[in-house]
Amino acid sequence: MQFRRANRDNPADLADGSLRLICISAIQKGGKAGEFLPDTMEQITGTVDKIRFRNEENGYTILSFEPDHEELPITVVGTFLRVDEKERFTLHGIYTNHPKYGKQFKLDFYESDFPDNVKLLEEYLGRGIIKGIGKVRAKSIVKKFGADAIQVMEHTPERLTEIPGIGKRLAELIGNRVKERTVMQEAMLKLTKYGIGPSLGAKIWKKYKEDTFHVLQTNPYQMIEDIDGVSFKTADKIAMEMDMPKDSARRIRSGILFLLDQIMLSGSVCCPKGQLLNNAEKLLGSERVEKVLDTMNGSGIITSVLRGDTEYIYKAAIYAKEVNCAKMFAELSRKTPADDAEAVIRSLNGNLDEVQMGAVRTAAESGLMVLTGGPGVGKTTTTNMIIQYFIKSKKTVLLAAPTGKAAKRMTEATGMPASTIHRMLGIEPGTQGFSHNEYNPLEADVVIIDETSMLDLSLAYSLLLAIPPDARLILVGDRNQLPSVGAGNVLADLIASKICPVVELTKIYRQAAGSDIIRNAHSILTGGSITLSNRDFFFKNCDTAEEIKETVLHYVADSLPAFTGEKEIQVLTPLKVREVGSTNMNLLLQERLNPGKEDVKGFREGDRVIHIKNNYIMKKTLPNGKVETGIFNGDTGKILSIDKEQEYVDVLFDDGCKARYEFEGLSQLNLAYALTVHKSQGSEYPVVVMPLYDYIPDITTMNLLYTGITRAKKCIVIVGTAQRFQKIAKNFRKGARYTGLQDELKEIAAR
Ligand SMILES: Nc1ncnc2c1ncn2[C@@H]1O[C@H](COP(=O)(O)OP(=O)(O)OP(=O)(O)O)[C@@H](O)[C@H]1O
């Protein structure tokens, strides 16, 4: 068979039987590790000698390749949709010179074909590439049909029956398998034309197989629901390429659901109808939006709720959760008091003030209560007394918090085991489900949750489902902290609804004598004046972004470690993006604190890192050598070593546990020299530096400043201008977070 170079922009090539595949590979241009030789595209044709590394998930491959007219094999690095040894390709890319591994060919895209040399073809087919053909059959097929063997198998498979031992059925089967291969490759090629990379392309193919084009042509939006990683924008691009009308109901429906998902990512659970229609019309360029929205409302996909004069639109599932949360909260709040509470309370040891003692009494008397207050007011001390009360009353108490770090702090503060809420509920990895639910409730009389401000609506719903009918729920948290990252505003809504008792502690006990951190944190809440007595709360006046960055670097690297005696200084930024955001500050801090080392995907040995996803199946080795599973969002540590040959990174976490990350798993890590205030919720650090530069009314709020400041235990330095600080401190906006839990609760209470 004649090999022909194809033009990836020429649609005719797609239909040409001689073309097997042209594939785009994500080339990593300008990677620091590689210094480019001439930056011109090269083309080499040859045979795969050996696959040295392959990640089946994303197609990333390192292989040794034998070019046709060169003696020595070369190393090729890039993304192959699929690849086998002895397979033939024409590769397009550039040569680079890797400091450690030498000359490499970085792949941009490739064209693939079956071997055109009879000997290689026999060897290739003999390796079991096509099911039903082993060494012996490969030999007979190639002997019979020569270099045309593949053409015969694909287009006239019945001719295979000319070979003894191959019957009609097997011939047909082989023909189908070869065709399937071709169809898959063509599908992948077509997908790359819509900007879909090989890894996503492979997922789409895996899901729809031969139906891929049918789905793409009839309803590409289906992919959003079926395949992880397909966004509305990707599906819409395909739909537009397919000339789908802008006014198509499917398109509008998907666009509306996409916007509702976006709303939820920003923390709201619903959206005023007017706002949604406006955004949808802008996104979709269609005037049929309202009509389609109304039909969706009737079909159970979305729910519309009238509150006052405003109509709010929810995805139906999240609305159901909100309504059910309200019902379950209301149900809990109706519980009756314990019988001999007073006698047990009198027997408790500890010096609580009257309000704190009142909280213990309330806990004893209520099915549902909230204990809130700022830093150092005795929330933990009071919680400990509540636990003591229930233990003395022979009740089973379970403790949990939304994050791993907060759960660890709860364990230390109470002396009792506390877990993440997910773990307490028995997360079932791979599904969104929990083993504890309404059919299998928790075995507890009392459940106490700390850092409740971080509890989002979905997790609150799962938690409430698992609370046994006669148990109590106690929610502890600081209502002035930022709300949860996930959609909802559970603690604030619950407090505002007045459906259950709320005990607010206001008297500051901790460090009352000497600390400006706590005093100023409380002053920010009350709008009081800020004290700068240079004890533990410092302010450095800097104006420009450049000045702020330099000052932060200087404090973190030079002056603060000496001044505070702490080696690690935590930078907390209001934003992730922009010049003084955590992403950029991390790069600057990495260069300053950990310079001159080679990067792997942005990480270096010795870097401070944070794990950013709850991973309940990942293994870690405890300091005592025992192996456990579970690494949580917010866990911080340091990179101990990077093994480039074996492609893994070892991390030592702050609690002494070690974990190994394969290179592909590194997306679970971020640099942690600088974190956003949002990310730092539930954690505390001895020394914090907080640069204030940007002002975005919905984000840089008083609550964000307050949350950042209260993360510092020993010392905080704020870097910015006094005007900017005041502006943020007085920004009492809560951010546009639309939720309805408060109204639902009030409605139930009024019945
Ligand atoms: N009634 C009290 N009398 C004397 N000291 C108290 C009292 N209540 C709390 N404290 C002390 O105040 C300090 C802070 O208390 P605690 O840690 O319970 O506060 P917190 O609200 O949990 O603080 P944070 O939210 O910052 O962790 C502790 O040293 C505690 O012993």
Summarised one tens digit per residue, pLDDT across range 692-745 is 998 988 889 999 999 999 999 999 999 999 999 999 999 887 666 899 999 999
Across the chain, what does the average pLDDT equal?
A: 86
The mean pLDDT value for 607-625 works out to: 91
Cα of 476 from ligand 1 centre, angstroms = 14
Residue pair 592/553 in contact by the 8 Å Cβ criterion:
yes
| Cβ 510 under 6 angstroms from ligand 1 | yes
Cα of 374 from ligand 1 centre, angstroms = 10
Residue nearest to atom 16 of ligand 1 (CA): 378
* pLDDT score recorded for residue 681: 86
| Cβ 356 under 6 angstroms from ligand 1 | yes
* pLDDT score recorded for residue 144: 93
User: Residues 324-349: pLDDT tens digits?
Assistant: 999 999 999 987 666 678 888 888 88
| Cβ 550 under 6 angstroms from ligand 1 | no
* pLDDT score recorded for residue 38: 43
| Cβ 373 under 6 angstroms from ligand 1 | yes
Indicate if the pLDDT at residue 28 is higher than 50: no
ipTM comes to 0.97
Over the range 68-97, which residues count as b (16 or more CB within 10 Å of their CB) and which as e?
Answer: eeeeebbbbbbbbbbbeebbbbbbbbbbbe
Check residues 212 and 39 and name the one with the higher pLDDT: 212
Indicate if the pLDDT at residue 7 is higher than 80: no
DSSP secondary structure code for residue 436 in this structure? -
* pLDDT score recorded for residue 22: 41
For residue 40, give the 3-state DSSP assignment.
coil
Q: Give DSSP secondary structure letters for 207-250.
A: HHGGGHHHHHHH-TTHHHHHSTT--HHHHHHHHHHTT--TT-HH
Q: How many percent of the chain have pLDDT more than 70?
A: 91
* pLDDT score recorded for residue 372: 97
* pLDDT score recorded for residue 613: 84
| Cβ 380 under 6 angstroms from ligand 1 | yes
| Cβ 375 under 6 angstroms from ligand 1 | yes
Indicate if the pLDDT at residue 5 is higher than 70: no
* pLDDT score recorded for residue 230: 84
Check residues 119 and 186 and name the one with the higher pLDDT: 119
Tell whether 380 is in a known binding site.
yes
* pLDDT score recorded for residue 31: 33
Indicate if the pLDDT at residue 686 is higher than 80: yes
Nearest atom in ligand 1 to 352's CA: 1
**What pLDDT band is residue 443 in, cutting at 50, 70 and 90?**
very high
| Cβ 504 under 6 angstroms from ligand 1 | no
Tell whether 350 is in a known binding site.
no
| Cβ 509 under 6 angstroms from ligand 1 | yes
The mean pLDDT value for 636-663 works out to: 92
* pLDDT score recorded for residue 90: 87
* The overall pTM is greater than 0.90: no
Tell whether 146 is in a known binding site.
no
**What pLDDT band is residue 512 in, cutting at 50, 70 and 90?**
low
Check residues 110 and 77 and name the one with the higher pLDDT: 77
* pLDDT score recorded for residue 20: 37
The mean pLDDT value for 208-215 works out to: 84
The mean pLDDT value for 406-419 works out to: 92
232-241 and 249-265 helices, crossing angle to 10°: 160
The mean pLDDT value for 94-111 works out to: 84
The mean pLDDT value for 376-385 works out to: 93
One-letter amino acid for residue 287 of the chain: E
Cα of 385 from ligand 1 centre, angstroms = 12
**What pLDDT band is residue 3 in, cutting at 50, 70 and 90?**
very low
**What pLDDT band is residue 116 in, cutting at 50, 70 and 90?**
low
The mean pLDDT value for 140-149 works out to: 90
Residue pair 207/89 in contact by the 8 Å Cβ criterion:
no
For residue 505, give the 3-state DSSP assignment.
strand
The mean pLDDT value for 37-50 works out to: 78
**What pLDDT band is residue 197 in, cutting at 50, 70 and 90?**
low
Residue 360 and residue 563: Cα distance in Å, rounded? 41
* pLDDT score recorded for residue 547: 96
Indicate if the pLDDT at residue 157 is higher than 90: yes
Nearest atom in ligand 1 to 377's CA: 21
For residue 120, give the 3-state DSSP assignment.
helix
Indicate if the pLDDT at residue 386 is higher than 50: yes
Q: How many percent of the chain have pLDDT more than 90?
A: 54
* pLDDT score recorded for residue 452: 97
* pLDDT score recorded for residue 337: 63
Residue pair 29/88 in contact by the 8 Å Cβ criterion:
no
Cα of 72 from ligand 1 centre, angstroms = 72
* pLDDT score recorded for residue 432: 66
Residue nearest to atom 5 of ligand 1 (CA): 509
User: Residues 255-277: pLDDT tens digits?
Assistant: 999 999 999 988 999 999 999 99
CA 655 vs CA 400, 556, 593, 637, 638: distances in Å: 18, 22, 22, 8, 11
Tell me which of 78-82, 138-142, 525-529 is least confident: 78-82
Indicate if the pLDDT at residue 186 is higher than 90: no
Gyration radius of the chain's alpha carbons: 31
* pLDDT score recorded for residue 529: 84
Check residues 463 and 17 and name the one with the higher pLDDT: 463
Indicate if the pLDDT at residue 15 is higher than 50: no
* pLDDT score recorded for residue 487: 95
